[in-house]
Structure 1
Amino acid sequence: MKKILALLMVFTLILSLAACGKTPTEETYGETEATTETETEATEGTDTEAEMTEDVTVGFIYVGPIGDGGWTYAHDQGRLYLEEQLGVKTIYKESVPETQDVEQEMRNMIDQGATVIFATSFGYMDFMEKVSAEFPEVAFLHCSGYKTTDNMANYFGRIYQARYLSGIVAGMKTETNKIGYVAAFPIPEVIRGINAFTLGAQSINPDVEVEVVWTSTWYDPAKEKEAAIAALDNGADVIAQHQDTAGPQQAAEERGLWSVGYNTDMSAMAPKAYMTAPVWNWGPYYVEQVQAVIDGTFASHAYWGGMEDGIVALAPLTENAPEGAQEAVDAATAQILDGSELVFDGPLTNQAGEVVVAEGAAMTDGEMLNMMWFVEGVIGNIE
């Protein structure tokens, strides 16, 4: 009786499958296998991609503290953006001097698994060049320098474009026609920025003079502030800077005068003085380069992007900016973007009144990157 019941159950199952147009030996098993294979392939692809991302550790070396509100803070915001976008692990070291110490910091990061290292100050260049030769499997990227190796790139942005725009604002604001400029070191990057700022101010106000006060430090809030006070005591009513903190702007605020910042929007740090600032946006470049490492397409290069790339910009003008400044900035921005304003196109004369760039000519990138002279209207020496 049990055998008969079992046979009836099997016969009923076969009939029900036949009614669906399929039998146990037909497409049913094949479809199940195909679906499983597809799901497995998708899972394997996702796992592989995630593993590749997890294998990447990115190191950042900073010349100042991440809380400086300026240069290092801007780079660290780029690091956080990188983590957010790609999910990679990052490590960083603050306040590393521009000495041989940086070599050991790079080696320490490599010991921690770093396969990409960004060194974010000019003085790290020669040390990174040396270490890059020792670790050909690591991607090295140096900010603001000019050297490359097979596995070391350099990168920077045309911040001089935004400095020119900030000069327009300062040139419209000054009543004494004297602007103080607190600057770190006399290297081409800094000199180029001073010249661009001066040319921007003179494009609006030809009588403007820009007095440079050197600090010989990237980060020293007290020293930066003292340098600004010296310029203010000498008749400046606007302070600009190539420094990492808001110290110079706070000096201007204490005097009831005006300031132009640098690196980030520093409006909260000197709200009664701050008008605007040339600012950095490093994040997209960091994502692009680390993704290239993950994809196996990273190659040594020299990058110098401009406002069209978004790596540099002028921060929004505050209510402290003079009337008409926004319109003047917008017009100059459009000219920079369409190529009709090159900032360093002739005629340009130096402090001695000698023509350095003839009318109708423009400086090449190489000439700008090696600029070691001041334009007419700058007060100060390149020491």
Structure 2
Amino acid sequence: MDTILLPIKWVISWIMFGIHTVLTTLGMSTGSGAAWVLSIVGLTIIIRILIIPLFNKQIRAMRMGQELQPEIQKLQKKYKGRTDAVSKQRQQEEMMALYREHGTSPFASCMPLLIQMPIFFSLFGLLNNVNLVSKGAESIGAVDQRVATEIANSTLFGAPLSSSLGTAGSFNLTLNVQVVTVVLIVLMMATLFFSQKMIMTKNLPESAQDPDNPAYKMQKMMLYGMPLIYVFSGFAFQVGVLVYWLTSNIWNIGQQYWLITYNPTPGSPAYKKRQEKLRAKRIAAGLPPEEEPAEPVQPRIQPLGKERSKKAGGKKIPAELQTQESFSESQSGEVRGLDGLTDAERAQKRYERRMAQRQRANEKKKARQQKAKQNKKNRNF
């Protein structure tokens, strides 16, 4: 695992070192200190900015998944009670075909988390090795012996960045490590719960809030289950990793607040609230409460020239026909052009013209051949 994550560790080390250099240039103290704590915060912000396109894809996938819920429920009812392998396989195939048809995937909403996991574990491995590097072990990117010593001695409220609940006994400041770690874990649980609750109460359409909806049940389980994972995982993670995770959760809250405020899911409570605000703004500006639909653009009427009139069979098309029937669908659903013909009728006329041209060409060819034969006979006599 360390070998696989080594390139990511190398990149993370240089990002942290670069942020630390900028902070010290701006006046923060060099060596061990708060600059290294803020470098982890800066690392989190840079990573989250880079994965914004994935976040946008995640939102589109989540909304598409919500729109597909009625179709998915139909499939589930169709195969309800069928436990044989063939039925399960067919249900899975039909469901994946449904996702492909709408250009999404059930795993698209997990992409930001999947991208962050290697970074998260790489930071864990980097902080786990700073003590060894500070004692002369091989450097990791920008983290050589001097930098590793600075990181190892940097603390957050007295708790070293490389310490954790599991290794608190090996540090002199055991109580500091325990208190800071527990506080960070509680904050992480609270921010995760708040961000998920925000989505469920404000940004889910009413159709997706059906208690019998399996997806809604799953989200409700995750709302209470995911924060509990921090209780167990937080025991092993260092203070620096917890800082990264907490910063990421706070970023999530801000990102979701912007999304819910300015680009809510259609049909959700946030969407209705935004529509009410827009309506109130229009009324305050002296405009109608609802935006009037735009009038359809009338197509430009192109007059027929002599040649086109010939091709159209010499028919003169009335102005009413040009403006109404020429550019709109007739009652039969056929679209007629300026020449008063449908595409099929126009193609048939082109075919008839070509056939007539070929027939005339063949007749001329036969006439030339006949004349050539006659001339040949005349020369033989």
Q: TM-score range by the shorter chain?
A: under 0.3
- Between Structure 1 and Structure 2, the one with more helix by share is 2
What TM-score do you get using the length of structure 1 for normalisation? 0.20
- Between Structure 1 and Structure 2, the one with more strand by share is 1
What TM-score do you get using the length of structure 2 for normalisation? 0.20
Largest Rg, 1 or 2: 2
